[in-house]
Amino acid sequence: MNEELREVAVAVALAAGELVSAGRPDRVEVASTKSSPTDVVTAMDTASEQLLRTELARVRPEDGFLGEEGGHRPGRSGLTWVVDPIDGTVNYLYGLRAYAVSVAVVRAADPAARPDPATWTVLAGAVVDPSQGETWSAALGGGARLTDARGTRALTAPTGPELGQALVATGFGYDARRRAEQAAVVARLLPRVRDLRRVGAASLDLCSVAAGRVDAYYERGLKPWDLAAGALVAAEAGAVVTDFTGAAAGGHGLVAASRDLHPHLLRALADAGAGDPGVGDPG
Ligand code: IPD
């Protein structure tokens, strides 16, 4: 069943990826803002989510839906599709190429409630990167794959370097006070690793861990749609994906790292204060 769900995730994410990339005007306007003036929505975020919602309702009418822009619609099957219609919206706005469509299907602990990463099980997911022509996908227990112009191959995350040699990706939320905390963590972590990257699309950061393009990724304050598909791709490729305490992902922050690196990065993040109680939601 998870394989069938993967196929659905790939098909709808590809359709939305095509819409988003083919329909990008030369000048993208901000349609509205959400949590802060820097947390923007473009008309294409809304159009992409509408396509995903309509298509999933057609092929999986019993399932629920949770989208970044349109909120939660509970279903009757116990499964919910969790979608980010454009992950990396700020990159998209500026014409930078690192953006993606992220689609996952989860079994929530309470099917009537909004799915919560702390308690859900992600069954399948796809991350489509239209600029690179790359489709990342995973099915729980079925492995992670990358499809590009050269074909499809299974992904196996490398075991990882020592901390001092690690290339670590991270991201920042939109809340100014949280950003100040995240900047303080960066200042303490940067001297201890090879380098840091801020690509601007969490789903692509997680897929990069799966492919060994970075050694690790961490971020605090992610939303369910940012992490659902990418975390499964990373985990199914053999990376270790947890929260900042080392417990199952989805609680307090997200840390995805190659196997040997993960415990060392967790300690370094704790030393840097990454898990300290902070502002906003606990994630
Ligand atoms: C954002 C991106 C970014 C991450 C932010 C997310 P959005 O998602 O994934 O890399 O650092 O936390 O909110 O707003 O572009 O869908």
Concatenate the DSSP letters of all residues of the chain into one string.
-HHHHHHHHHHHHHHHHHHHHHT--SSPPEEEESSSTTSEEEHHHHHHHHHHHHHHHHH-TTSEEEETTTEEE--SSSEEEEEEEEETHHHHHHT-S--EEEEEEEE-SSTTSPP-TTT-EEEEEEEEETTTTEEEEEETTTEEEEEETTEEEE--------GGG-EEEE---S-HHHHHHHHHHHHHHGGGSSEEE--S-HHHHHHHHHHTSSSEEEESS--HHHHHHHHHHHHHTT-EEE-TTSSBTTSS-EEEE-TTTHHHHHHHHHHTTTTS--SSS--
Flag whether 283 is in a domain.
no
Residue 221 is assigned to a structural domain of this protein: yes
ipTM: 0.96
CA of residue 202 to ligand 1 center, whole Å: 6
Residue 278's pLDDT is 58
Residue 79 CA to chain centroid, in angstroms? 19
Amino acid at 1: M
Ligand 1, closest atom to CA 198? 10
Tell whether 205 is in a known binding site. Answer: no
- Out of 112, 129, 154, a domain closes at 154
59 in the same domain as 22: yes
Same domain, yes or no: 17 and 46 = yes
Ligand 1-lining residues (CB < 6 angstroms): 68, 84, 87-89, 171-173, 200-202, 219, 222, 226
281 labeled binding residue: no
**44: CATH:** 3.30.540.10
Alpha-carbon gap, residue 233 to 12, rounded angstroms: 17
- Residue 278 is assigned to a structural domain of this protein: no
Ligand 1 atom closest to residue 91's alpha carbon, by position in its atom list: 15
Q: Is 63 annotated as a binding residue?
A: no
The residue to mutate among 94, 226, 254, having the most atoms of ligand 1 within 8 angstroms of its beta carbon, is: 226
Residue whose token pair is 């159009």: 47
87 is in an annotated binding site: yes
Which residue's CA is minimally distant from atom 12 of ligand 1? 173
Beta pairing, strands 79-87 & 64-67: parallel
Candidates 210, 26, 190, 56; CA nearest to 129 is 210
279 lies in some domain: no
Q: Is 86 annotated as a binding residue?
A: yes
Cα separation, 114 vs 272, in Å, equals 32
Report the chain's terminal Cα–Cα distance, integer Å. 30
Q: Are residues 186 and 249 in the same domain?
A: yes
Nearest to 220 by CA among 243, 197, 188: 243
Distance 183 CA to ligand 1 centre (A): 16
CA of 1 to the centre of ligand 1 (A): 30
249: containing domain: 163-271
Number of domains in the chain: 2
Query: Which of 101, 121, 154 represents a domain boundary (last residue)?
Result: 154
Tens digit of pLDDT per residue, the chain (283 long)? 999 999 999 999 999 999 999 977 777 777 777 777 776 678 888 999 999 999 999 999 999 999 988 889 999 999 999 999 999 999 999 999 999 999 999 998 888 889 999 889 999 999 999 999 999 999 999 999 999 999 999 999 999 899 999 999 999 998 899 999 999 999 999 999 999 999 999 999 999 999 999 999 999 999 999 999 999 999 999 999 999 999 886 667 899 999 999 999 999 999 999 987 654 444 5
Query: What is this structure's pTM?
Result: 0.95
Residue found under tokens 């996952």 = 104
Residue with the smallest CA separation from ligand 1 atom 11 is: 171
